[in-house]
Amino acid sequence: MKAIDAVQKIIESQFPNCDVALLGGSVARGEETKTSDLDIVILDQNLSSCYRESFFSNGWPVEVFVHNFETYKTFFENDCKRGRPSLPQLVSEGIILKGTMQIVTSLKQEAEQLLNKGPEKWTEELMRQKRYFITDALDDFIGATKREEELFIANHLADLVHEYVLRVNGQWVGNSKWFIRVLRKYDSLFAEQFVEAFDHFYRTGEKVGLIDFVEKTLENYGGRLFEGFSVGK
């Protein structure tokens, strides 16, 4: 069954009284794969609380994010605070399956304004802390002599560098498949260098290229940070 038809049946059978229904995610973007699920956002003014549910329907894995007109605002806010705007993204890109144009247009505008605004700016103190954490992890990576330790320190470094570069430059972060997508959206050349550095290490075990990449990245933001770093003093 086609995605749109499957979603319509779900709405009719499980959420017949909802005010808004949107289909977001990879299917809405035309990027679905054989493992894609249906990401459905439901708004119902009669609900007292929100919930998320996963199930199979009509041959599709389905995830529904069910809210009233207050709880979605809380999730918008919390998603933006963490720097990863999952629900605003779903709403912004969502295909409209149910809802008046006035309500849906307002909802989408709210989501798009948040996305365009970007995450809350890091303080100078937080930027210093994050730069210290990268320096510390890099030193651990340089000093590690066991392959299994090197692998997971490298994973940690990838997360730290990804977050730092994006947040310092006022960009949203991502995880899983969105990890590289948001990085590429910000700077395609840097994203290519990022992938090349980590991929080379994972394939060959050679650390020099990855160390050089992280150090050069740090140099763009003041370099390594250890001497003089203090928290709570």
Q: How far apart are CA 180 and CA 197, in angstroms?
A: 13
Give pLDDT, residue 233: 59
Please tell me the distance from the alpha carbon of residue 232 to that of residue 228, in angstroms, as a whole number.
13
| Contact between residue 88 and residue 75 where contact means Cβ atoms under 8 Å apart | no
In percent, the amount of the chain with pLDDT more than 90 equals 86
What is residue 152's predicted lDDT score, i.e. its pLDDT?
Answer: 98
Answer yes or no: is pLDDT of 227 > 90: no
Taking only the tens place, the pLDDT of each residue in 82-117 is: 999 999 999 999 999 999 999 999 999 999 999 999
**In 3D, which of 162, 29, 170 has the Cα closest to residue 93?**
29
Q: What is the mean pLDDT of residues 220-228?
A: 83
Residue 61 β-bridge partners: 56
- Cβ-contact 36, 26 below 8 angstroms: yes
Strand 95-98 to strand 51-57: parallel, antiparallel, or no bridges (unpaired)?
unpaired
Res 229 pLDDT > 60: no
Confidence at 232, pLDDT banded by 50, 70, 90: low
The per-residue pLDDT for range 67-82, each reduced to its tens digit, is 999 999 999 999 999 9
User: What is the pLDDT confidence band of residue 206, given thresholds at 50, 70 and 90?
Assistant: very high
* The predicted structure's pLDDT at residue 228: 60
Right CATH for 3-117 from 1.10.1060.10, 3.30.930.10, 3.40.50.720, 3.30.460.10: 3.30.460.10
Full DSSP string of 163-214: HHHHHHTT-----TTHHHHHHHHH-HHHHHHHHHHHHHHHHH---HHHHHHH
Confidence (pLDDT) at 63: 96
Could you state, in order of their start, the residue ranges of all structural domains in the chain?
Answer: 3-117, 124-219
Instruction: Please write the tens of the pLDDT for every residue from 160-179.
Output: 999 999 999 999 999 888 89
Mean pLDDT of 210-233: 84
In this structure, the number of other CB atoms found within 10 A of the CB of residue 27 comes to 22
CA torsion, ordered 164, 81, 19, 23, to nearest 10 deg: 10
Helix-strand-coil split of the chain, %, nearest 5: 55, 15, 30
Sheet holding 38-43, edge to edge: 51-57, 60-67, 38-43, 20-24, 95-98
Averaged pLDDT for residues 219-233: 76
What distances in angstroms separate CA 137 from CA 1, 211, 220, 228, one per listed residue?
Answer: 48, 11, 18, 17
Scanning the structure block, which residue is given the tokens 């969502």?
94
Tens-digit pLDDT profile for residues 113-144:
999 999 999 999 999 999 999 999 999 999 99
DSSP state of 82: T
Backbone angles phi, psi at 53, to 5 degrees: -145, 145
> What is the pLDDT, as a whole number, of residue 231?
61
For residue 35, is pLDDT > 90? Answer: no
Q: What is the pTM of this model?
A: 0.86
